[in-house]
A and B are shown apart, each in its own frame.
Chain A
Amino acid sequence: MGSVTEENGVKASPETQHPRKAFGWAARDNSGVLSPFSFSRRNNGDDDVTIKILYCGICHSDLHSIKNDWTNTIYPIVPGHEIVGTVTEVGSNVRKFKVGDKVGVGCLVNSCRSCDGCKQGFENYCPRMILTYNSIDADGTMTYGGYSDMVVVDEHFIVRIPATMPLDKGAPLLCAGITVYSPLKYFGLNEQGKHIGVVGLGGLGHVAVKFAKAFGVKVTVISSSPRKEKEAIERLGADAFMVSSNPEQMQAAMGTMDGIINTVSAVHSLMPLLFLLKTRGKMIMVGAPDKPLELPVFSLIMGGKIVAGSCIGGMQDTQEMLDFAAKHNVTADIELIGMDYVNKAMERLAKADVRYRFVIDIANTLTAA
């Protein structure tokens, strides 16, 4: 199945399937190499908001998708779901936004709006949710993401960027931020005095440390790299740091954590991490290894412990997260790049060579061919 759709019996290309010209960078095959791409966006409907994109964060999911790691990519793919921009047009039903507002779009652009999940603010668990890119929209066309000049999105799936938040450093919060904020809140790990572990210090991990500290929670970073300790403690504010392959450190911390936010997306051993949890402790997986992990059942049973998953967050939570972040000065640590650096950025991301998120300066560096 390709990216073209039928219109009046004639196959439409990405450039012609919608009435408004758009421009971005796309990957055409699983080499994942991105290059300039002309396509089109729908007209602004009554419930829609048109956004001129200023910045877009590079999420590790973008890398997985362009390389078809999850075997569900439809090419050409325009990634990007950490979008910040300016409103340039609003539909007649739109109440929350006006032209000129600074807004954000995350991983979702639509959902069924009627299931229990949607009604409870869990649009991210709706079985019919539509992702910002690489998803089939209600009209049968592909969604294209934020590595582009503009996007048209239903008002419900847009959030306001608080006035005090820097737009470039705030962009990664649209995915990385909500991905860690939501489980901290849902699983009760945001209560003062609790002790959580954060496994992995990357895009998700570094934001998890910042949010947890803002909540008043004690944070121990668990990492495979000893050299990240100074960074974790002095710059990010973690209370403690452990090297996961150091058995003495790990043993000394056994049974001390109320919860663990596990951001690691490679296959790894869960048992030593489960031992760190107190009785009834919770390990929340937010990283998504593409092969199954080994679950040592005894470790769960002896301790009544939980391994749970969490995936981004709902729209209301996302707005709440941004407002909380603005209030507590939580932003991502970023490396701002030009659009044509994106392939190099992807190579570096694959080696975790970034502190801690690349953000594309779309407005200043994305130019139509």
Chain B
Amino acid sequence: MAKLPEEEHPEKAFGWAARDSNGVLSPFKFSRRSSGPKDVNIKILYCGVCHSDLHFVKNEWGMSIYPIVPGHEIVGIVTEVGSMVQKFRVGNAVGVGCMVGGCDECEDCKRGWESYCPKTILTYSNIYHDGTVTYGGYSDRIVVEEHYVVRFPDGLPKDAGAPLLCAGITVYSPMRYYGLAEPGTHLGVVGLGGLGHLAVKFAKAFGAKVTVISTSPSKEKEAIEHLGADAFLVSRNAEQMKAAARTMDGILDTVSAKHYLLPLMELLKSHGKLVLVGAPEEPLELPAFPLLVGRKLVGGSATGGMQETQEMLDFAAKHNITADIEIIPMNYINTAMERLAKADVKYRFVIDVANTLSA
């Protein structure tokens, strides 16, 4: 008979979990493993609410293992380190993102592409090496293997920096990989939400020219005055879109609803790149001609590797890049999820775990 979550591991833990696909979260007692030689034990201070958390609690991707404790934008303080841990000491500020394990020996892992390893272990709702289910950051503590922990830079606020652990790396990694992070590049950013607003900030820090493409005219002021975008296009405005045809080196598409790619492809110069980081559940239409006539490409990108996550955080600290957040107490989480489903947040909820999560 399977052990109860409370009894699987020796150390008591507490968090909030969804028990089934209606996605409602509530207090949940469980347990964490003891720190092994390579492990880091972390007291969680803040955890960002990522849209993936919402997809998972509602089992929208069909891979949820209940009960789910979501949360993969974790910032905390080290409380214990295993005997072989070299990079961290007790008291360090650290971050944990979307992965807590992998195979460490395949080509992808060796190249620092851990997020593409076929054996990658997600921070929550996945099976760990010991056969138990992983539980995420909507909880008081977490134990993670050193390789999957990053140092949280001193200059970054821990609350507004938490979303960088997923949203930040998700936009930073493809900008670097696809060569869209060069000064003078003209980058389009589609969708102004958790991912999109950070994409604008990173791109500006890289010295790129940024055009935000959105369905909502109301976001223009925000995009230009607050986030620093250079221009704003309403995707439904055919004239604006036409005037911008063939002007962009790349487009980062953060939209996770079904939408048309052709108008975006037409914004690209020849050899332009459309990079998808939002994940619609249904396939999108891909017209072949615009790809061929212009040698354009459509690429995907999924979070990022551990070394690049550290690099991203250090870059963010240097350039003062943090997320725009709404701090919430743990018991607001269900309302937050409802609002997130309607994109009613500017632009990330962050749970004040340390101060509001109580057993």
A residues whose Cβ falls under 8 Å from a Cβ of B:
117, 122, 125, 127, 183, 186, 255, 270-271, 278-280, 282, 285-289, 292-311
Residue from the list A183, A294, A307, A308 in contact with B285, Cβ < 8 A: A294
Q: Is the CB of A309 within 8 A of B301?
A: no
B residues whose Cβ falls under 8 Å from a Cβ of A:
107-108, 113, 116, 118, 174, 177, 246, 261-262, 270-271, 276-281, 283-302
Residue from the list A117, A186, A294, A306 in contact with B299, Cβ < 8 A: A306
CB distance from B271 to the nearest CB of A (A): 7
User: How far is A155 from B134 in the complex, measured between Cα atoms in Å?
Assistant: 66
Residue from the list A122, A289, A300 in contact with B288, Cβ < 8 A: A289
Chain A to chain B contacts (Cβ below 8 Å), 26 pairs: A117-B270, A122-B270, A125-B294, A127-B270, A279-B107, A279-B108, A280-B116, A293-B285, A293-B286, A293-B287, A293-B288, A294-B284, A294-B285, A295-B285, A297-B280, A297-B284, A299-B300, A301-B276, A301-B300, A302-B300, A303-B300, A305-B299, A305-B300, A309-B290, A309-B293, A309-B296
Query: Which residues from chain B contact A293 at a C-beta distance below 8 Å?
Result: 285-288
Contacts known (A127-B246, A304-B177, A308-B291); A295 close to B298, Cβ less than 8 A? yes
User: How far is A205 from B337 in the complex, measured between Cα atoms in Å?
Assistant: 50
User: How far is A15 from B324 in the complex, measured between Cα atoms in Å?
Assistant: 69
Query: Which residues from chain B contact A311 at a C-beta distance below 8 Å?
Result: 292-295
Q: Is the CB of A303 within 8 A of B116?
A: yes
User: How far is A278 from B106 in the complex, measured between Cα atoms in Å?
Assistant: 12
Residue from the list A280, A295, A303 in contact with B284, Cβ < 8 A: A295
Q: Is the CB of A304 within 8 A of B288?
A: no
Q: Is the CB of B302 within 8 A of A288?
A: no
User: How far is A279 from B118 in the complex, measured between Cα atoms in Å?
Assistant: 9
Query: Which residues from chain A contact B301 at a C-beta distance below 8 Å?
Result: 301, 304
Query: Which residues from chain A contact B302 at a C-beta distance below 8 Å?
Result: 301-304
Q: Is the CB of A304 within 8 A of B113?
A: yes
Q: Is the CB of B270 within 8 A of A286?
A: no
User: How far is A270 from B301 in the complex, measured between Cα atoms in Å?
Assistant: 18
Query: Which residues from chain A contact B286 at a C-beta distance below 8 Å?
Result: 270, 292-295, 307
Q: Is the CB of A307 within 8 A of B291?
A: yes
Q: Is the CB of A300 within 8 A of B298?
A: yes
Q: Is the CB of A125 within 8 A of B116?
A: no
B290 to chain A: closest residue by CB: A309
Query: Which residues from chain B contact A287 at a C-beta distance below 8 Å?
Result: 288
Contacts known (A279-B116, A289-B288); A308 close to B297, Cβ less than 8 A? yes
User: How far is A6 from B198 in the complex, measured between Cα atoms in Å?
Assistant: 57
Closest 5 CB pairs of A and B: A309-B291, A300-B300, A308-B297, A301-B300, A309-B292
Q: Is the CB of A288 within 8 A of B276?
A: no
B296 to chain A: closest residue by CB: A309
Name which of B113, B261, B278, B289 has the most chain A CB atoms within 10 A of its CB: B289
Query: Which residues from chain A contact B298 at a C-beta distance below 8 Å?
Result: 295, 300, 306-308
Contacts known (A117-B270, A294-B284); A255 close to B276, Cβ less than 8 A? no
CB distance from A147 to the nearest CB of B (A): 24
User: How far is A198 from B276 in the complex, measured between Cα atoms in Å?
Assistant: 25
Q: Is the CB of B288 within 8 A of A186?
A: no
B246 to chain A: closest residue by CB: A127
Q: Is the CB of B246 within 8 A of A304?
A: no
Contacts known (A125-B294, A285-B288, A297-B300); A304 close to B283, Cβ less than 8 A? no
Q: Is the CB of A125 within 8 A of B270?
A: yes
A179 to chain B: closest residue by CB: B292
Query: Which residues from chain B contact A295 at a C-beta distance below 8 Å?
Result: 261, 283-286, 298
Q: Is the CB of B113 within 8 A of A279?
A: yes
Query: Which residues from chain A contact B279 at a C-beta distance below 8 Å?
Result: 297-298, 301
User: How far is A125 from B271 in the complex, measured between Cα atoms in Å?
Assistant: 9
Query: Which residues from chain B contact A280 at a C-beta distance below 8 Å?
Result: 113, 116
Name which of B278, B292, B299 has the most chain A CB atoms within 10 A of its CB: B292
Q: Is the CB of A300 within 8 A of B116?
A: no
Q: Is the CB of A186 within 8 A of B295?
A: yes
User: How far is A280 from B287 in the complex, measured between Cα atoms in Å?
Assistant: 21
CB distance from A182 to the nearest CB of B (A): 9
CB distance from B43 to the nearest CB of A (A): 32
With A285-B288, A302-B302 already in contact, 5 other A-B pairs whose C-beta atoms are closer than 8 Å? A278-B107, A295-B284, A300-B299, A309-B296, A311-B295
